[in-house]
Amino acid sequence: MHISPEIMVLLMFLSAVGFLLMGFPVAFTLAGTGLLFALFGHLIGVFSLSFLYAFPQRIFAIMSSEVLVAVPLFVFMGVMLERSKVAEELLDNMGRAFGSRPGGLAYSVTVVGALLAASTGIVGATVVTMGLLSLPTMLRRGYNIPFSCGTICASGTLGQIIPPSIVLVLLGDQLSVAFQNAQYSMGNYAPDTVSVNDLFAGALLPGLMLVGMYLIYQIAFATLRPKEAPAIPADELIKGDRRAFYKQLAGTLFAPLILIIAVLGSILGGLASPTEAASVGAVGAIMLAGYKINPKGAKWIMAGAASLFALFILTMFFDLRMQRNVIPAADWAAIAVALVLSALLVIGVIVSVWRTLQERDADGTPVLASVGRSTVQISSMVFVILVGAGMFSRVFRGFEGDVVIENFLHNLPGGTVAAMLLVMTVMFLMGFFLDFLEIIFIVVPIVAPILLQMEVAPGVTMSPVWLGVMMGVNLQTSFLTPPFGFALFYLRGVAPKAVKTSHIYMGVMPFVAIQVIALLLLWFWPEIATWLPSVLYEK
């Protein structure tokens, strides 16, 4: 019995998608499909089990990856901020600030979605929180139901593309390997590296562009149909002293903005790797939660937070490394100050940890224990999927699937443009049925090394940052596209009975169209994604 590699590759891919659609767990589907086809291929003589000898090394590489350490840290940061009620305060105060304008509640949801995206990056928690808090208010005020649902779903998914994002961390890790493989195939054995920092910098402007496009659509909707996005009298929203309200608003915004600046600024400024910045974010989230539990008597926490920010500033101007042969007097003074600030930071963290251990959830579990459990569950899911995807990709390459795909894409009429269009279309369609993790770990390792070898101009190969941002924006639509977009399910689970599933589907369609327009803009003007990395890192 002889089956060609092309047929085996196609059967393997379709089997994996079929098992996923049947509801089997992603990690076990990928690993199981790979192993079954490896054994079947070995029995019929078209696959050598020696390809699996390198699989343990793949697992070890995942375990020892410094970049992937950022995943549990960012997850911890996001879950802790969600439990500390930051989103609730932001939504309440932003709604009161913008609500007196037509469409103001929709604007506030989008702005808060962008802020939460830059500080938490967890789509499910953001959509659920905004669905519970904002949707009933918007419906009670007479807002159009599909418009309200679409606004909440789309704003909640901004965490996929605005850094720091878990999607960008995972995508950056995959693209780094793909770019290296592509350069090796082209005979360049000393290639430039592509890091998660590059992808963060590349995704920042497109993410902010999406926020702007969402707001433009909402302004147009409120202008054309004011009765379906009505303004609320300002006196009804802001009762009492307006100066006190704006002071409260500034206080609500201050902590998340400082955290965003510390995490994202340290990454983009080259002061820290994503993993180091994620640890800063995790520490900052703990102190913010400790402060929110009881603002009174939180002097040590405030001192710790101020010390963290001061250390960030100090690092920008002085070299604080102590393992040097010659250290100038100014650096010694800065090091002494840094040690004092570090001591204050440690005290602030200890006090915050104690408070999060004393504070209890509704079920009586300490907040820190609950956050830790959620972090372990989410992180375990991601890493088990990574291991399963490693098995799938090894077997796929054993059947020469990468060669099959490479030949197919190179032989397409239209060259690079046709290949890129096909890949982006396939990813978009897969987003109707599969989660972003499945698409990242199935599609990206297969097609990215091939695309990164293709020329977009004579002698100029495709930019990995541009490709990553295009894929990131495309993957964001996987949360919005009916019938299986996860953001739609999240909102459906917490929406009032008056909201039908058809309302949610209708509401997200304009935002899906905006995503497609954003992809077109990035297609024709790749500088939107490549300009900032070129300025920051001279690439």
* Each residue's pLDDT tens digit, 23-56: 777 778 888 888 898 888 888 888 888 888 878 8
The answer to whether residues 116 and 234 belong to one domain is: yes
Q: What local confidence, expressed as pLDDT, does residue 469 receive?
A: 92
pLDDT at 188 (0 to 100): 72
**Does one domain contain both 349 and 219?**
no
Average pLDDT score over residue span 451-463: 78
Q: How far apart are CA 345 and CA 337, in angstroms?
A: 12
In a domain? residue 194:
yes
- Residue 257 sits in the same domain as residue 140: no
Residues 226 and 300 in one domain: no
53 is a domain residue: no
Find the radius of gyration of the CA atoms of the chain: 25
* Residue at 18 is within a domain: no
**In the prediction, which pLDDT does 174 show?**
85
Of 326, 359, 392, which residue sits at a domain end?
359
Pair (255, 176) in one structural domain = no
Q: Are 155 and 486 in contact (CB under 8 A)?
A: no
Element (H, E) at 456: strand 455-457
Q: Smallest Cα–Cα separation from 108: which of 89, 82, 124, 85?
A: 89
pTM of the model: 0.82
At 263, the pLDDT band (50, 70, 90 cuts) reads: confident
Q: Print the domain residue range for 513.
A: 84-239+458-539
Mark which of 359, 374, 404 sits at the end of a domain: 359
Q: Which helix or strand (DSSP H or E) is residue 85 part of? A: none
The position carrying tokens 């989660």 is 435
Q: Looking at 311, 334, 359, which one is the last position of a domain?
A: 359
| Arithmetic mean of pLDDT, 196-209 | 90
pLDDT at position 171: 87
Residue 402 has pLDDT above 80, yes or no: no
341 and 266 belong to one structural domain: yes
Paired tokens of 226: 């004011």
- CA 176 – CA 182 distance, rounded (Å): 10
Higher pLDDT, 187 or 15: 15
Residues 97, 124 within the same domain = yes
Q: Are residues 229 and 261 in the same domain?
A: no
Residue 38 lies in a domain: no
Judgement on whether residues 156 and 268 belong to the same structural domain of the protein: no
312 falls within a domain: yes
Residues 170 and 303 in one domain: no
Q: Give the pLDDT of residue 216.
A: 95
95 and 213 in a common domain: yes
- 149 and 233 share one domain: yes
Asked if 93 and 248 touch (Cβ cutoff 8 Å), the reply is yes
- Which residues, at least 6 apart from 249, have a Cβ–Cβ distance to it below 8 Å? 93, 94, 96, 97
Mean pLDDT on 270-276: 80
pLDDT of amino acid 194: 78
Over residues 298-327, mean pLDDT: 85
**Residue 9 falls inside a structural domain:** no
365 falls within a domain: no
Does residue 371 sit within a domain? no
The SS3 assignment for 461 reads strand
Say how far apart CA 123 and CA 155 lie, in whole Å.
Answer: 9
pLDDT above 60 for 80? yes
Whole-angstrom distance, CA of residue 289 vs CA of residue 15: 45
The total number of structural domains in the chain stands at 2
Burial of 37 (0-12, 13-18, 19+ CB in 10 A): buried
